[in-house]
Chains A and B, each alone.
Chain A
Amino acid sequence: MRMSVAKQVLLHVVVLAMIVGLVFPVLILVFNSLKTETDIFASPVGPPHAVTWDNFRRVLTDPRFATNLRNSAVVATATVLLSVIVTAPAGYALSRFKFRGRTVFSMWLLATQAFPGIIMVLGLFFVLKRYDLINRLPGLIIMHTSFSMPFSIWLLKGYFDKISVEIEEAARIDGCSRLQSLVKVVFPLAVPGFLAVATFSLLLSWNEFFFALVLMRDNAHYTLPVYLVRFLGSGGVVQWGPLSAAALLITIPVFVLFLLGQRYLVSGLTGGAIK
């Protein structure tokens, strides 16, 4: 069954057209961030006539941007670390132990995906208020961790499933305790899994908007997505140049890290789903 040359050409044309559709909107954002306001509406599609860095300068000299960048970085880093620490043992347990309530636990994890944000946030007010965590970064960190957990546990279970039990048993015969064999043998083998979880929770936390919008009350505590929407809302006319520059600056860090981590995430997701 060889494909004719004409069909092969068609295949490439169609794929390229679809990829352009996926990439072009991002390119428009890049163009706008380098255009003057008049240029943006004079030629809404094409590249800038004359490159200006004013938009970036304006965002980077805004002290609120620096504060909110720091908040986003703190929340995302803490979420990533906490997610890995909490989900590693749970994923291991789900992979290795046969315990009562195992099915219920798995279903509960799936069901949490369906919980509406509004219900969670209304209920969380009680918890966060009691510990004085409203308008505080730790409150947001705990939230983001709880969102990333179900998926992360499922991802890690897949990775632990791939590590054979014999390796652990061999370590045990060599005199390792369960904890030692876990730390010295199993966890090092599961590093790709941890990277998958890290990429997933980083993306989730950095991009999360709804809870940050509702729980954070002032400029000193906003994260970058909220900063961006505030930027959009300030004043009557939307200034697309600086807005695009801000949007791009918010996207770049997580984009770079995503490129580095995506192959672990993809193999983790797809590995779990196929089985």
Chain B
Amino acid sequence: MARTRLLAHRGRSWTEERGAIPFLLPALAVLCLVSLYPLIRGVSRVFYVYRALTRQDVFSGFENFGLLFKDPVFFRAFGNSLVWTVVSVAAMFFISYVLATLLNSRYLRFRRFLRATTLIPWAIPGVVVSLIWRYIFLSDGPANALLSAVGVANPPAWLTSPQLALWTCIIANIWMGLPFVTIMLLAGLQSVEGDILEAAAIDGASYLQSQLRVVMPSIKKVILIVLTLEAIWTFNSFDIVFVMTKGGPGSASMTLPLYAYQNAFMYYQAGYGAAIGVVILAVLLLAVVLYIREVLQ
């Protein structure tokens, strides 16, 4: 008894508030120096415009936002970014859900090996992924060679067609995102008890019904985390479009991060690039807030 009381007493001092400070200090220092401070400085750039004549950044209030709302390329990039993110994440979720369900089946042989193989795209650098897919979709590349082989007369020019360029990049992005989503969903599925499914089956639920009404709700939290993170990463993603199409042809596959980069580092309009960045930040913080509200409920 005495020993337990002693432990309880020590347990309190163990979780004492002041004690946390030295543990948090290094992380807080790094976060403030390279996350909080640059965020503030970066956002403040939005109020400055570079004047080529005097070669100086001049305070200009909301001028950059004014320009933004008159810029058709910005709107094009905004629309593209939404399509890019929604389609990518929806497809990743659908394909990964099917794959995770299959990988979770107790009738599958070599499960460990097959699960490990699904992780492969995860280990490949984004620029390498982009190069592989750029090659696959060359007009005389593997994709069209396969299409010709099955008798398609005029296979499309994937990367240089204004209608297809963005979609071609989306395919590469989906491929790259599949391992993470699959592995997370698989972990969720493994935590679902077999008996709930059997109970649902006894109650006469069809396979699809039991997936939608029983399995998905019970792994709702994992689904939410994965979709939010993947949406944030995809909306912010730069490598694939930069390497595969550079936003082209014209601005057909331009996304917001790429357009911001071009303005800031190719046209020397840092303020304008920052304005695009602020729009990205606003959209993503909305996603984070929705996510936090959902999780805290």
Contacts and interface: CB of A to CB of B under 8 A. Distances in A.
Given A97-B20, A240-B135, A112 B31 contact: yes
Interface residues of B, number: 106
Interface string B84-126: 0000000000010011001101011100001011111111111
Given A32-B135, A122-B264, A19 B24 contact: no
A174 to B, nearest CB: 12
A220 interface: no
Contact of B31 (A108, A114, A127): A108
Given A12-B109, A89-B26, A254 B125 contact: yes
Main SS at interface, chain B: helix
A149 B22 CA distance: 17
B118 A22 contact: yes
B40 A123 contact: yes
A183 interface: no
A22 B45 contact: no
A118 B260 contact: yes
A15 B102 contact: yes
Contacts of A225: 125-127, 239
Interface residues of A, number: 94
B125 A25 contact: no
Contacts of B38: 119-124, 126-127
Contacts of A191: none
Interface string A47-87: 00000000000000000000000000000000000000111
Contact of A207 (B39, B43, B126, B131): B126
23 contacts: A12-B108, A22-B118, A23-B120, A26-B120, A26-B121, A111-B288, A114-B284, A114-B285, A114-B288, A118-B264, A124-B38, A145-B34, A153-B27, A172-B14, A178-B14, A209-B127, A228-B128, A229-B242, A247-B128, A266-B187, A269-B183, A273-B184, A274-B188
